[in-house]
Amino acid sequence: MAGIGLGVAALITVISVMNGFGEELRARILGMVSHATVSAVGEALSDWPEAVALARTDPRVIGAAPYVEREALLNGPRPQGAIVRGIEPSHEVSVSEFGSSMLAGQLDALRPGAYNIVLGKELALWLGVSVGDPVTVTVPEFRTTVIGALPQMRRFTVSGIYEIGFQDADRGMALIHLADAQRLTRMGEGVTGVRLKLEDIFQARRVADDLADRLGGHYHVRDWSSDHASFFRAIRIEKTMIFIVVSLVVAVAAFNLVSSLVMLVTDKQADIAILRTLGMSPGTVLSIFMIQGLVIGGVGIVLGVVLGVGLTLNLDLVVDLVEQVFGIEVMPKDMYYVTGLPTALHWPEVGLIAAIAFVMSLLATLYPSWRAARTDPAMALRYE
């Protein structure tokens, strides 16, 4: 019982922690990227006000915002490449978490013609700049001059620093005003596309396709799952492999159930033989040992579910206790974006774990029960 219970509790806790990390990373990524994006094919999206207005009429859409995005070289005391995104602050707050993730300054400081720039925390450290310092932005848009073709560049002033908690954003993205980005990239009144935030993130592809169809023409549609498909696939594969590995703990406990029932059958052979001579059928003997094994497994599963759910719901307290007793920090803040152990308890998965443990317990009872049912009374009582 203890072996099965500990295996089930470990499996529930580990899978809940994996779910917690997955949801934490998804929330951080979706705080930086859009749920879905609609952009023109091979050219700037010129009718973006219509696209934004049309998107907001869809009840599945929470927010819509235009953007201009281009790779650029940023120069402070040190150079660093990054993605420069032009945004409209009043629209951006409805589709991302940049506004609520500011460490210094405000997103509203991005005003047309002011040429202010907001940097991620890691990017600012790499550039060696802080609020108020100048940064030169160079984009691969060339203009012809008397001395030849020169790239477009502009000096910006750092007006804010944010921290999303996701390295791709904190180290590789800078924000400027939409109008400044249009001038810098020479896009006129066009934009790269329209970003959408949705009520249900799993409908992102469908909503983006519907918007592209309503706009007419040819548009490129992508959603968050395709932008980060490899990342989320890796998390899913890792979770599956950990599930399989930790399930071996339950399998070992089930194997112990086999050995204990085999020893019980050997010890009770004389009693089984006497019951057989009194008329008990092999099927009844089989059912007795199967029921006994299932009771052991069932009680272990119940104990494991209670222990696993309780440990998952109070994991923060357990981690704090471990840190105080051993004087260590499980998730150092200077090394990890995610501090503590986030958990997410999914009851369907708890049910699946309990069902798998029950099936293993059932399979573990088959051989001992079959062996007990095949006991020959004459052979068992020969030396009694």
Distance, in Å, from the CA atom of 58 to the CA atom of 51, rounded to the nearest integer, reads: 11
CB atoms closer than 10 angstroms to residue 329: 13
- φ and ψ at 113, to 5 degrees? 85, -10
Tell me what pLDDT residue 115 has.
Answer: 92
- φ and ψ at 343, to 5 degrees? -130, 150
Collect all residues with Cβ–Cβ distance below 8 Å to 20 and sequence separation of at least 6. 341, 342, 343, 344
For the chain, give the secondary structure using H, E and C: CHHHHHHHHHHHHHHHHHHHHHHHHHHHHHCCCCCEEEEECCCCECCHHHHHHHHHCCCCEEEEEEEEEEEEEEECCCEEEEEEEEECHHHHCCCCCCHHHEEEECHHHCCCCCCEEEEEHHHHHHHCCCCCCEEEEEEEEEEEECCEEEEEEEEEEEEEEECCCCHHHHHHEEEEEHHHHHHHHCCCCCECEEEEEECCHHHHHHHHHHHHHHHCCCEEEEEHHHHCHHHHHHHHHHHHHHHHHHHHHHHHHHHHHHHHHHHHHHHCHHHHHHHHHCCCCHHHHHHHHHHHHHHHHHHHHHHHHHHHHHHHHCHHHHHHHHHHHHCCCCCCCCCCCCCCCCCCCCHHHHHHHHHHHHHHHHHHHHHHHHHHHCCCHHHHHCCC
Tokens of 193: 């596309």
Tell me what pLDDT residue 239 has.
Answer: 82
**Which amino acid is located at 313 in the chain?**
L
Q: Which residue in 22, 26, 21, 90 sits closest to 223, CA to CA?
A: 26
Distance, in Å, from the CA atom of 307 to the CA atom of 10, rounded to the nearest integer, reads: 9
Q: Which residue in 233, 122, 230 sits closest to 173, CA to CA?
A: 122
Tell me what pLDDT residue 31 has.
Answer: 62
Angle at 135 between CA 131 and CA 141, to 5 degrees: 145
Tell me what pLDDT residue 355 has.
Answer: 92
Tell me what pLDDT residue 55 has.
Answer: 83
Residue with tokens 């051989």: 367
Distance, in Å, from the CA atom of 360 to the CA atom of 373, rounded to the nearest integer, reads: 21
CB 305 within 8 A of CB 8: yes
Distance, in Å, from the CA atom of 138 to the CA atom of 158, rounded to the nearest integer, reads: 15
Distance, in Å, from the CA atom of 118 to the CA atom of 129, rounded to the nearest integer, reads: 11
Residue with tokens 């993730």: 101
Tell me what pLDDT residue 155 has.
Answer: 93
CA 267 to centroid of chain Cα atoms: 51
Instruction: Give me the tens of pLDDT residue by residue for the chain, a chain 384 residues long.
Output: 888 898 899 999 989 988 888 887 777 766 667 788 888 776 788 878 888 888 888 888 888 889 998 899 999 899 999 999 999 998 888 888 888 888 998 888 999 989 999 999 999 999 999 999 999 999 887 666 555 566 788 999 999 999 887 777 888 899 999 999 998 888 888 898 888 888 887 787 788 778 778 877 677 777 777 767 777 777 788 888 888 888 888 888 888 888 888 888 888 888 888 888 888 888 898 898 899 889 988 999 999 999 999 999 998 888 888 878 887 777 666 566 566 678 888 999 999 999 999 999 888 899 888 988 888 787 767 766
pTM exceeding 0.85: no
Strand pairing class (134-145; 116-120): unpaired
Tell me what pLDDT residue 213 has.
Answer: 80
Tell me what pLDDT residue 142 has.
Answer: 65
Residue with tokens 């509790």: 9
